């Protein structure tokens, strides 16, 4: 039996006219996008926009169009120079010293740089490998005019927190008043080692000569800070971060899914959970370290692999033992 074909009559519809209207709307939208992109290419406009964004959003800005890919690196490199200019007369020379000695800047200074919050640290914490603190102090005195280094004997830090010794140098600057630098020497050749002993995940970040590393970006950019089981100070200043609108959580509690902050999770700055951004090309490798956890003072013994480590007791934990390293 032959199929019955139903014919639908289209009346009073000008197909060519509808296509022209659709094409016109597309062209208008394209012109508006081109005008917006032209404005975003202007350096002054870029700086005003990027100055209001945290590091994660700055990276997202560079992904909106291929012509804007270099904007985040240029802006962050300039911002780093502005930060250092408040403490050093020869910024490029100091960055070269950081590069050669694999030193890093951490603490509230790095957190402020990452979050772009308006508050500013009065001094900076400069972390360096074992045996290099004296070299850095001599450089600061000779090249930057800082006073002779003072040994900080009553420091709350100790070797348990991965710190060998602490020096403080000061200088009066007519532009910015008295500035001080804490030169903190690690107990080993990795300047980053003490940073994993910090009392809270929000400050586990560091600036190196050519970039920045955020160890817990998933939490930090949501303004969530998890307490470490091995705080590096006797009286952790949790209230300071509450005043800056950070939510302070206990590890494995407060209904928080462990995710990247599981107390038994083996972490490394090279894994996929960290944010590592290089904003200046260099042959010098990024300062890094091996695995660490939030609950242990030192990595697991070589006889125990991450897969054989104890399990987390948080029922919301996904029970991961490690995170794949980025290629």
Rg of the chain (C-alpha set)? 26
The packing angle between helices 15-40 and 43-50, to 10°, is 80
Tell me what pLDDT residue 304 has: 47
The stretches of the chain forming alpha helices (DSSP H) are: 15-40, 43-50, 55-62, 71-85, 91-101, 108-115, 133-144, 217-220, 238-242
Distance CA 76, CA 191 (A): 22
- Domain range annotation of the chain: 19-75, 86-308
Q: Which residue has the tokens 């926009």?
A: 49
Question: For the chain, which residues score pLDDT lower than 70?
Answer: 1-36, 120-122, 154-160, 230-235, 251-257, 296-316, 318-322, 324, 326-327
CATH numeric code, 86-308: 3.30.460.10
Q: Model-level pTM? A: 0.80
Q: Say what the pLDDT of residue 64 is.
A: 83
Cβ(166)–Cβ(185) under 8 Å?
yes
CA distance 136 to 29: 56
d(CA 80, CA 299): 32
User: Residue 33 has what pLDDT?
Assistant: 64
The pLDDT, as a whole number, for residue 98 is 96
CA distance 116 to 244: 12
Cβ neighbours around 117 below 10 Å, total: 14
């Amino acid at each position: 039996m032959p199929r019955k074909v139903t014919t639908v009559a289209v009346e009073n519809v000008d197909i060519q006219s509808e296509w022209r209207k659709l094409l016109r709307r597309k062209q208008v939208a394209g012109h508006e996008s081109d005008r917006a992109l032209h404005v975003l290419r202007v350096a002054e406009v870029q700086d005003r926009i990027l100055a209001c964004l945290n590091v994660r959003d700055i990276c997202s800005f560079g992904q909106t169009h291929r012509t804007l890919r270099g904007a985040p690196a240029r802006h962050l490199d300039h911002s780093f120079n502005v930060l250092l200019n408040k403490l050093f007369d020869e910024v490029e020379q100091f960055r070269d010293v950081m590069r050669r000695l694999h030193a890093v800047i951490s603490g509230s200074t790095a957190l402020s740089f990452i979050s772009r919050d308006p508050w500013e640290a009065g001094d900076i914490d400069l972390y360096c490998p074992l045996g290099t603190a004296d070299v850095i102090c001599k450089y600061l005195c000779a090249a930057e005019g800082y006073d002779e280094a003072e040994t900080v004997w009553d420091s709350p830090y100790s070797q348990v927190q991965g710190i060998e010794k602490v020096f403080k140098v000061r200088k009066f600057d007519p532009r910015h008043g008295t500035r001080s630098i804490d030169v903190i020497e690690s107990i080993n050749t990795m300047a980053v080692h003490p940073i994993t002993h910090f009392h809270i995940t929000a400050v586990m970040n560091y600036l190196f000569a050519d970039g920045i590393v955020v160890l817990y970006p998933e939490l930090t950019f949501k303004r969530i800070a998890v307490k470490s089981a091995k705080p590096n100070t006797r009286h952790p200043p949790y209230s300071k971060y509450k005043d800056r609108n950070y939510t302070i959580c206990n590890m494995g509690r407060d209904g928080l899914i462990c995710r990247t902050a599981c107390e038994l999770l083996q972490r490394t700055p090279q894994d996929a959970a960290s944010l590592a951004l290089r904003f200046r090309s260099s042959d010098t490798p990024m300062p890094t370290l091996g695995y660490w956890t939030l609950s242990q003072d030192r990595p697991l013994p070589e006889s125990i692999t991450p897969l054989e480590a104890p399990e987390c007791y948080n029922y919301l934990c996904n029970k991961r033992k490690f995170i794949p390293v980025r290629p």
